[in-house]
Structure 1
């Protein structure tokens, strides 16, 4: 095509009539202009350039009297359409002196400026694309550029170059705002190429894969601050990179010469290495503002260190020896030293991992007990969210059946679960704090385990073992708060038990609160029933595994990770149960918890919830002047010589109550005890009896009480357990007797609701 007009770039191509355009979007654009709905844009010409079709238009932007950028009242723009319609249309400003402004694509010298109209990918824009919208956006782009408003104050600064498909993952320190950075030698390894996009990973030589030598050494250079603006053509040689950094600043080349000279004099110098040049570009929004960000780019030398030094005039090769040149030949400025631009990617840090998860990073010190299906996935979720420093305790091996619902892959079968998990997660981000100890927590603790307990802020039990949970609550000396996460036998429900920050309500006591909730809340009656038959995976009698879908384990692990975060952030004790429903919803039950009173009676520790004490007192008060009573149910822990009172059965309807005596009936008691046992997985059993004394009488046992206790003791001894009796009196006092009534009891007075 002939020169369109003086001052405009020419376009060579075949002129075509508007009606002869073949690309649908080009046709649509011409039709939109012919409809006269866009009076500030008019068609100048149409032409075909190879497979592209161009529509040349004159656009009238709204230019202020004193424009920030020299945009004219009429700008001639060529709009190019690709027949494949796989990318944004080409938008070329044909005026030869169109200014260098933000949001321009790079164009070689002597070619039109290429306007960047959209920040989103064409694939995302395409479903709603219209020619009218494109034209309005073009006019808006020119108007806002003239006013200096196109680049919003809160918008990220323009990058220096187009990011190439080759990516280089760099340590996060490279991206730090500090002016001076010392970076140890890097090992750069090729990872993969996917659809033409290559990824390299740079890591310190000390942490490089065993047996692999460094391919590059690195040089970090922080350039002078620059105002952001036009995306430029990538430098392809050392000399071009120097020219880009600043025509008047020879600091880069001289710094590079000095770095190469230092390398040569250092022990172990390898002249065959290549150089990874990491350039840090401090960026300004305007010339009068402070540095806003540091942009990082990387350039890989095609040649070796020896070739670079020679091309920079500091060395010369003589009989295969590398000799220093004195003086330096400054005529050699790296014109022959070719570079490949790499797009740097910041290695993940704890803070970044947390930010990507919408969180603040946490360094809470955890000891995790149990690396099974739930534990492996819960900790994986938390580590990937930048949460916690972890010591993992587990003695189990990872076996084939575990892979059905575990974080670990089958390739790690045979390894210890805890060590395998740490191996998998330790490189999630830089400086993860993860350690594993192969230990059975019920065995005497090693010094290593004791140190972990003492340093912990939270001990997270995911062992699904009552014995382990009580051991952690009662036998371990540690300032750490205890939490427990476990699934019910059918895997439908997730349970969280979280101690108070001050441990005023311990894990073992929360276990009893959990049992009482199962007894009293109708929606939890079937909670501990087992669904499905266990599957045997080996020969030993205990080598069985439950049936549980992995998607359900993953669901509860996701909830569990969030529950741990929420619990650690709150000081109070809590019990919460999440129940997965058949319709794919999840119902959450928050369980109200009660403080416990503990007393030592005849070498046994009796733990009683305040709620139960209040209810006994209220029942006594309601039946006055008569005596009343009922059945105590709870848990015996013979290892710790503890009796936990979980709940009570009110006086049966066939009981005999009078001001001078109480004879408990039996109506419905056996059935209720059977229900209690079934609801709690046979954990909560008959413990003993309670009755009241009328006002004016103490809670000391009468002769009838002593005779009853003797009967209870004879029956209890057949099972090796002590008899338990409670006597409730006036002023909300209750006396407790265990094993030997003659030895006396302990009295609890005036329980305040808490």
Structure 2
């Protein structure tokens, strides 16, 4: 620290530590090398019978000496506390630093320096570390570092620079009751830039036999201080006990591994000595009459069954990894350069990328298996959101190619342009444990054929996400009967230069479908700001110049805005899909004016539509929302004993042969009601229809009329005449909806 010599700093730290009530003595014992070393004597509370003997049964003393070196960059870095050389090492939470170093306890979850630096006063940080140290010693004395309620504490690997990356779940699947060794193909990187070499190994989830006809199992290539190549990782599971029962390891063994002899000794403790010897023999045979003249690291993982589940995990099998090096030189006496004294290194087991890992880290439920239709900016972002939470992307479909302008918002970044978006997205998703099918062609064409549909929406797909912003694709998905696709359908789209977004989620059985939901959304009353974003041409597609004489129809928006809206809607999509609702959902969000931090969201629940064949048409159907049906029934109750009616409003699709009714316009005041008939008035009707058309952003059309029957009778000859008159007076299509006390009928003469 500024203004103090290292000796003065050490003495000051001793005085701070002596403030703690459990610290009885302290002194500076060395001031060499600019990192002074101090020693303190701490009191360890334990039950009276242990205290009377001066130590616990496992060798923890009531007064424990503790040393610590003060780092040169203190207080940016905290002291590391060491225990006496003969302190018991067969305990959890001891750093794996080898028997040539004094035992060092792990005092906090996470990084000790970060724990220390969270306190404004370094004096407080020191005393908090002493609290942690004394708590650790007291738990060690009473065997409370491990317990079934908390879980078995695995061998500590925090701070270990060597690692083996693999699929831990697959590794545990290789454990057999009778024991044995499985070799996994792997790769390595060896760094010689530090005093001790550093190793980074990775293993595939597939076994490989050591056969001489496979010369590339072990390879080595040096570039300056780095070597890389192929190797193996041996997964070792102990054999059964002589009694025939599985071997259960109930003890922590001292983590002192420094050479191959130590690995053999550990193997003997775990009942795996013969297996380790056979591994070495088999590697030697592989190199019989062959050599490499390069050191190659080999991974070794003991799979040990513990008496209860590991902390924070659903397995009782602990993976304890090490790395040693072989040196298959010509003229060698052993495959190990130094024989049994060849160095060995503890290694951290790092989980390979897997859907299970990503889901766990995300803290979410496993997302559904999803097919992505459209691989543009929204589709690519959505695909990565789902993949990064552990979901399976079953397919990606898009016929478009990458251009430089796509880099403004797309999830991918490419320096080689011209690739197809679907193929490029699939390649990138592969790094997240994904293997989606690709359909790099026109989606509408694909959805019209059996082979195309099987690629765009593969078997076992649970969710279809349409991000194309294409009415044609939406209608094609609505046309595809739910009983054949077996997947729930959703859609995400952005509007208003990324200031607004909508998410649609069909009911599980496809009623309401996407077209029903979009029509229902246009029937909702929204704020003027949201209306402008949705319907004003100022916020629609623009011609964006992407080269001389070249342009693209696009919607100018920033990547930040697109990512915020897309991420929020994907998250809400997963939540709603998991809610097991049998209704459709609409989610709409928009930024309210210039306040960038104020995004307002609304959700609507849409029940199933009533589906009515339209008599007199060529296979057309009328789909009527529940809200409209309730409005009609309320109107009928308001006029008992007479017929009543009004105008029906909604959308129409000639491709689907469907008329979708989502709103009504009340009958004008000059309408006539009687027990025998209803005559729709004309006063103000045209203005009312035009007003409703404009209020919907010119999306909802006048589709015809409805009227009631007082008794349970279908369309009359007068009704058919009225339908014909409707067809003449309105542009097609037009329909007449008849509501009886218990049923609905639809007729038309114009379609």
- For residue 128 of structure 2, what is the aligned residue in structure 1? 133
Q: Is the CA contact (8 Å cut-off) linking 1:528 and 1:680 kept in structure 2?
A: no
2: distance between equivalents of 1:305 and 1:157? 40
Matches within 5 A, 1:222-261: 222=236, 229=252, 232-236=255-259, 238-246=260-268, 250-251=273-274, 254-261=277-284
Deviations 1:198-254 (A, max 9, x none): 75544489999x9x9773332515265766546634424x34433454489752552
Query: Mean alpha-carbon deviation: is it higher for 383-392 or for 143-152?
Result: 143-152
Measure the CA separation in 2 of the matches of 1:143 and 1:135. 12
- Distance change (3 Å), C-alpha of 1:454 and 1:712: same
**Counterparts of 1:391 and 1:192, CA distance in 2:** 43
Q: Distance in 2 between matches of 1:139 and 1:607?
A: 73
Picking from 457, 461, 464, the partner of 1:459 is: 464
- Note if contact 1:226-1:284 (Cα within 8 Å) is conserved in structure 2: yes
Partner of 1:508: 515
When the two chains are superposed, the root-mean-square deviation of aligned CA atoms in Å is 4.2
**Structure 2 contact 371–395 (Cα < 8 Å) conserved:** yes
Aligned CA distance change for structure 1 residues 25 and 509 (closer, same or farther; 3 Å): farther
| Per-residue deviation, 1:660 | 6.3
Contact (CA 8 Å) 1:472, 1:482: kept in 2 or not? no
d(CA) in 2 for partners of 1:724 and 1:74? Answer: 94
Equivalent pair of 1:369/1:463 in contact (CA under 8 Å): yes
Counterpart Cα distance in 2 of 1:469 and 1:270: 63
Alignment CA distance shift 1:197-1:381 (3 Å): farther
What do residues 674-694 of structure 1 show as CA deviations (whole Å, max 9, x unaligned)? 34334444332111123345x
Residue in 2 that maps onto 1:404: 408
* Cα distance change of structure 1 residues 162 and 483 upon mapping to structure 2, 3 Å threshold: closer
Q: Tell me what 1:599 maps to.
A: 613
Confirm or deny that 1:438 pairs with 2:440: yes
Q: Deviation of residue 41 (structure 1)?
A: 1.3
Distance 1:47 1:492, change over 3 A: same
Q: Distance in 1 between matches of 2:66 and 2:551?
A: 78
Structure 1 216/419 Cα, relative in aligned 2: closer, same or farther at 3 Å? closer
The answer to whether residue 396 in structure 2 is matched with residue 392 in structure 1 is: yes
Question: Which whole-Å CA distance do the structure 2 matches of 1:374 and 1:252 have between them?
Answer: 53
Distance apart, 1:390 and its partner CA: 0.8
Deviation at 1:352, TM superposition (A): 1.8
Change (3 A) 1:415 1:738: same
Q: Does 1:53 align with 2:36?
A: yes
Residues 1:294 and 2:318 aligned together: yes
Secondary structure in 1 matching 2:183 = coil
Query: Is the Cα contact below 8 Å between 2:67 and 2:82 reproduced in 1?
Result: yes
Report Cα offsets for 1:341-365 as digits up to 9, x if no partner.
6544221222222222223446x54
Which of 481, 484, 500 is the equivalent residue of 2:490?
484
1:329 corresponding residue in structure 2: none
Asked if 1:650 corresponds to 2:666, the answer is: yes
Q: State the partner residue of 1:316.
A: none
CA distance in 2, matches of 1:111, 1:471: 70
SS in 1 for 2:31: strand
State the distance in 2 between where 1:216 and 1:160 align: 27
Q: Distance in 2 between matches of 1:194 and 1:660?
A: 98
Residue 461 of structure 1 and its aligned partner are, at CA, apart by 1.9
Alpha-carbon separation, structure 1, partners of 2:194 and 2:417:
30
Partner of 2:243: none
Structure 2 residue aligned with 1:62:
45
The alignment partner of 1:543 has SS state of: strand
Distance (whole Å) between structure 2 residues aligned to residue 302 and residue 235 of structure 1: 15
- List aligned pairs for 1:145-544, cutoff 5 A: 145-151=140-146, 153=148, 154=150, 156-159=152-155, 164-172=160-168, 173-174=170-171, 176=173, 178-179=175-176, 180-188=180-188, 199=200, 201-203=202-204, 215-218=229-232, 220=234, 222=236, 229=252, 232-236=255-259, 238-246=260-268, 250-251=273-274, 254-264=277-287, 271=292, 274-283=295-304, 292-301=316-325, 303-304=327-328, 310-311=333-334, 334-335=339-340, 337=342, 342-361=347-366, 364-429=368-433, 432-443=434-445, 445-452=448-455, 453=457, 455=459, 456-475=461-480, 478-490=484-496, 491-516=498-523, 518-519=524-525, 525-526=531-532, 528-530=534-536, 531-532=538-539, 534-537=542-545, 543-544=552-553
With over 3 angstroms needed to count, the CA separation of the structure-2 counterparts of 1:546 and 1:366, relative to structure 1, is same
1:560 to 569, 576, 583: 569
* Alpha-carbon offset, residue 271 of structure 1: 4.5
TM normalised by structure 2 equals 0.79
Q: Is the 8 A contact 1:495 1:575 kept in 2?
A: no
Larger Rg: 1
| Partner of residue 738, structure 1 | 748
Q: Secondary structure at the match of 2:484?
A: coil
Q: Per the alignment, in what secondary structure is the counterpart of residue 588 of structure 1?
A: strand
SS at 1:635 equivalent: strand
Distance of 2:626 and 2:16 partners within structure 1: 82
Residue of structure 1 in register with 2:703 after alignment: 687
Deviation at 1:627, TM superposition (A): 4.3
Moved more, 597-606 or 474-483: 474-483
Q: What is the Cα deviation at residue 285 of structure 1?
A: 6.2
Please give the per-residue CA displacement for 1:374-395, whole angstroms capped at 9, x wherever unaligned. 1111121111222134122221
Are the counterparts in 1 of residues 370 and 392 from structure 2 also a CA contact under 8 Å? yes
Hey, what does 2:225 align to over in structure 1? none
In structure 2, relative to structure 1, the CA distance for the partners of 1:346 and 1:696 (3 Å cut) is closer
Task: Decide whether the 8 Å contact of 2:500 with 2:588 is kept in 1.
Answer: yes
Tell me: CA distance 1:83–1:90, structure 2 relative to 1, closer, same or farther (3 Å): same
Shift of 1:599: 0.8
Residue by residue over 1:90-131, the C-alpha shift from the partner in whole angstroms, topping out at 9 and shown as x without a partner, is 43444x643335244467767654444444421232232524
1:598 CA displacement: 2.1
Task: Give the conservation status (yes or no) of the 8 Å contact 1:220–1:279.
Answer: yes
Q: 1 CA distance for matches of 2:571 and 2:193?
A: 36
Look up the SS of the partner of 2:135 in the other structure: helix
Tell me the number of residue pairs that the alignment of Structure 1 and Structure 2 aligns.
Answer: 686
CA gap 1:81/1:417 in 2 versus in 1, 3 angstroms: same
Once residues 727 and 193 of structure 2 are traced to their aligned partners in structure 1, the CA distance between those partners, rounded to angstroms, is 77
- Identify if the C-alpha distance between structure 1 residues 264 and 166 changes in structure 2 by more than 3 Å, giving closer, same or farther: closer
Unaligned runs of 5+ in 2: 51-55, 209-213, 221-228, 239-247
Q: TM-score scaled to structure 1, two decimals?
A: 0.79
Distance 1:293 1:68, change over 3 A: farther
| Structure 1 Cα separation of the partners of residues 615 and 726 of structure 2 | 16
Sort the Cα spacing of 1:151 and 1:338 in 2 relative to 1 into closer, same or farther, 3 A. Answer: closer
Please identify, of 537-546 and 292-301, the stretch whose mean Cα deviation from structure 2 is larger: 537-546
Asked whether the equivalents of residues 416 and 438 of structure 1 are also in contact (C-alpha less than 8 Å), the reply is yes
